[in-house]
Amino acid sequence: MPHSGSCLCGQTTITLNSTHPEQIVCHCTDCKQTSGSAFSTNVLAPQKDVTITGPVKNYDIKAPSGNTVTRIFCSNCGSAVSHKSVAFGDAQAIQTGNFADFAKIPVKTELFVKSRWDSVAPFKDAAQVQTMPS
C-alpha cells in the first residue's frame, strides 16, 4: 500500500510506493534534535520507491559512526522529511510523523536505546537496540 504525506505547511509532499508494516523509533541525539522531541519515528524505504516534491534543503552531518548523514527538510516550514546514509544501502529513512496512516502501524524496533530519555518507556514488543545495528 503506498503512503502519501506532507510537511507542516503542505508545500513538500512525500510518496512511498512501498509497503511498511512496521516502524523504527530512533533515540539518537541527531534524531531528537531534528524532530524536536524525545525520538523520531521512521521507516527505511528503498530510494527508488520514494518521491519527494516541493521546496527542500539538505543538511550534512557526521554521525558517531563517521558516516555522513544527509538530512532532508522542507525549506519553507522546516519539517524533517528524510535522511540518507551509506549505512542504509539503497534505502533512506523517512520520518513517519508526516503521514497520517502511520499512526496505526506498530513500532517494532527502537534504536539508540542507550540514549532514551528516562521518562520514555520502551515500546511494547519492540526490539531494543543499544546503538545502530551493523
Q: Write out the DSSP string of 49-67.
A: GEEEESSEEEEEEE-TTS-
- Rounded-to-integer distance, Cα 91 and Cα 101, Å: 21
Please tell me the predicted confidence (pLDDT) of residue 131.
78
Determine how many CB atoms are found less than 10 A away from the CB of residue 112: 20
Q: Is the pLDDT of residue 118 over 80?
A: yes
Q: What is the pLDDT of residues 10-65, one digit of tens each?
A: 999 999 999 999 999 999 999 999 999 999 999 999 999 999 999 999 999 998 77
Q: Residue 6 corresponds to which amino acid?
A: S
The three grid cell numbers given for residue 82, joined into one nine-digit string: 528524510
Q: Is the pLDDT of residue 132 over 80?
A: no
| Domains observed in the chain | 3-128 (2.170.150.70)
Mean pLDDT, to the nearest integer, of 108-130? 94
Mean pLDDT of the chain: 94
- Rounded-to-integer distance, Cα 27 and Cα 133, Å: 13
- Rounded-to-integer distance, Cα 6 and Cα 109, Å: 24
Q: Is the pLDDT of residue 134 over 70?
A: no
Q: What are phi and psi of 122, to 5 degrees?
A: -60, 145
Q: Is the pLDDT of residue 1 over 80?
A: no
Please tell me the predicted confidence (pLDDT) of residue 121.
96
> 89 in helix, strand or coil?
coil
Q: What is the pLDDT of residues 82-105, one digit of tens each?
A: 999 998 999 999 999 999 999 999
The three grid cell numbers given for residue 72, joined into one nine-digit string: 532532508
Specify the higher pLDDT residue, 66 or 116: 116
Q: Is the pLDDT of residue 110 over 80?
A: yes
Yes or no: say if 96 and 42 are a contact pair by the CB < 8 Å rule. Answer: yes
